[in-house]
Amino acid sequence: MVMTLSYDSPGQLNRQSSPQAREPGSRCISLLGTDCLIQSKVSLASYTSYRVGGPAEWYVAPKNLDEIQASLEWAAAQGLSTTLLGGGSNLLISDRGLSGLVIGTRALRSTHFDLATGRLHVAAGESLPRLAWKAARLGWQGLEWAVGIPGTVGGAVVMNAGAHGSCTSEILVEAEVLSRNGQRSLLTPKDLGYRYRTSNLQNSDRVVLQATFELKPGADPAKVLADTADQLRSRRSSQPYHLPSCGSVFRNPGPQAAGWLIEQTGLKGYQIGGAQVAERHANFILNCGGATAMDIFQLIRHVQEQVESRWSYLLEPEVRIIGEF
Ligand SMILES: Cc1cc2nc3c(=O)[nH]c(=O)nc-3n(C[C@H](O)[C@H](O)[C@H](O)COP(=O)(O)OP(=O)(O)OC[C@H]3O[C@@H](n4cnc5c(N)ncnc54)[C@H](O)[C@@H]3O)c2cc1C
Ligand SMILES: NC(=O)C1=CN([C@@H]2O[C@H](COP(=O)(O)OP(=O)(O)OC[C@H]3O[C@@H](n4cnc5c(N)ncnc54)[C@H](OP(=O)(O)O)[C@@H]3O)[C@@H](O)[C@H]2O)C=CC1
Ligand SMILES: C=C(O[C@H]1[C@H](O)[C@@H](CO)O[C@H](OP(=O)(O)OP(=O)(O)OC[C@H]2O[C@@H](n3ccc(=O)[nH]c3=O)[C@H](O)[C@@H]2O)[C@@H]1NC(C)=O)C(=O)O
């Protein structure tokens, strides 16, 4: 693919206003042939559910495959690393921000419910809860569990998101991924090496473009909507949804849940700066207002140390911690 760039420098500038929160001195580059802008120094805090994180050195939000490919080629030509950012609901991004190019996927949108096959073809940037509600309204079963997981389809495929005994790998037929060398491939759950809350896409530089899920059409929409609402109700009764978080901070180690271990260690309510171990659920760390990423990071380490000294078990973070701490 031939890509032409115009740089934000005299003569070649393509200055444009931008919807992103940009810091002073930020620059804007346009990938010619597209209306896609690459911007420098874009604050990432508003892109994460924790509402923390410093600026991206460069940020782009491609809307289609051409724009993703152009973005990857641009990063490669500049010698920059890339980081994928979906809903930002399982990311703790350093206060210092991220170097390289951050590729936000939320503009990758398309949904197709194929009644003949019961398959749902969906782009990586679609919101998982919105998809769950959409499926419910159509009377398609199989996504009720996903309603309270505030991420994207791409993030769910990478993380193997799940709840209430179901998870992404169980309904995934295949995911289309793009590798850094521009090769597209269709991968099955087996190819993706799924396990509890992980896949071999984690720590890889492949981009999830879209997913195909197998659901069950034909149910009464009123029933699926009621079941979906029940899932959300039950989750809201046991998990703190009122303040910014990343959901569960740690993976469950086995027979004992992380929340139980943390509560038994006496850490509920423990606070560092603006970050607090939730009273309602000890495996949630909340941004109670004004928390920095470092506050949250230090609290994660404190919880690990305390739990390890009491139970001789090192809790493994589920949240992806990225950038310098
Ligand atoms: C209130 C709350 C409740 C939650 N409850 C649950 C729950 O019940 N179950 C659960 O499993 N999780 C839960 N989570 C965690 C989180 O929502 C999930 O892990 C979700 O799947 C993350 O999706 P995301 O799009 O936000 O990914 P992000 O946080 O943006 O990214 C997660 C990882 O995926 C990568 N990534 C994202 N998109 C792509 C892509 N298109 N291609 C390649 N890599 C990509 C990122 O680089 C990163 O490594 C909860 C979070 C919150 C805030
Ligand atoms: N604590 C935290 O850090 C965070 C918690 N959350 C929580 O996670 C959950 C998911 O949040 P989010 O991803 O923002 O998505 P939401 O669940 O808020 O809504 C996403 C879309 O789903 C559809 N929808 C929502 N409710 C209904 C309903 N009752 N009936 C039919 N359709 C509905 C709407 O789609 P349409 O517009 O197409 O009708 C809506 O735009 C929420 O409970 C939210 O409070 C979210 C972010 C951070
Ligand atoms: C929120 C997430 O996923 C959630 C998912 O929503 C729910 C519902 O299916 O089940 C998991 O939570 P969980 O294991 O903490 O579920 P819960 O039922 O709340 O708790 C498990 C056990 O720990 C105990 N518990 C929990 C919290 C607490 O403060 N104290 C405590 O003792 C509970 O009493 C229960 O016996 C997922 N977490 C993990 C790490 O697997 C996420 O991954 O981000």
**Per-residue pLDDT at 5 exceeds 50:** no
Tell me the helix, strand and coil percentages in the chain, rounded to 5: 25, 25, 45
- Nearest-CA residue for atom 6 of ligand 3: 163
What CATH class has 240-322? alpha beta
Show the CA angle centred on residue 88, arms to residues 287 and 188, nearest 5°.
Answer: 140
State the Cα–Cα distance between residues 251 and 79, nearest whole angstrom.
34
Does 16 score more than 70 pLDDT? Answer: no
- CATH 3.30.43.10 region(s) of the chain? 4-104
Instruction: Provide the mean pLDDT of the chain.
Output: 92
Q: Which two tokens stand for residue 257?
A: 């849940």
The per-residue pLDDT for range 181-238, each reduced to its tens digit, is: 899 999 999 999 999 999 999 989 899 999 999 999 999 999 999 999 999 999 999 9
Candidate of 241, 283, 315, 316 to mutate for ligand 3, largest count of ligand atoms within 8 Å of Cβ: 283
Quick one: what percent of the chain has pLDDT higher than 70?
Answer: 93
Which fold does the domain 4-104 belong to in CATH? 3.30.43
pLDDT of residue 20: 63
Boundaries of CATH 3.30.465.10 in the chain?
Answer: 111-237
Of 174, 197, 206, 245, the active-site residue reads 197
Q: Which CATH number does the domain 111-237 belong to among 3.30.565.10, 3.40.30.10, 3.30.465.10, 3.90.230.10?
A: 3.30.465.10
pLDDT at 6 over 90: no
Q: What is the CA radius of gyration of the chain?
A: 20
Tokens of 3: 């890509």
Q: How confident is the model at residue 31, as a pLDDT?
A: 82
- At residue 24 the predicted structure's pLDDT band, cuts being 50, 70 and 90, is confident
Handedness of CA 231, 234, 239, 242 (dihedral sign): positive
Q: Identify which ligand lies nearest to the alpha carbon of 162.
A: 1
DSSP code of 164?
Answer: T
318 is a catalytic site residue: yes
Asked whether the whole model's pTM tops 0.90, one would answer: yes
Ligand 3 centroid to residue 248 C-alpha, Å? 7
Domain(s) of CATH 3.90.78.10: residues in the chain:
240-322
Ligand 1 atom closest to residue 203's alpha carbon, by position in its atom list:
49
Residue range 243-265, pLDDT digits in tens: 999 999 999 998 899 999 999 99
Which of 30, 29, 85, 89 minimizes the C-alpha distance to 56? 85
Q: What is the mean pLDDT of residues 10-20?
A: 33
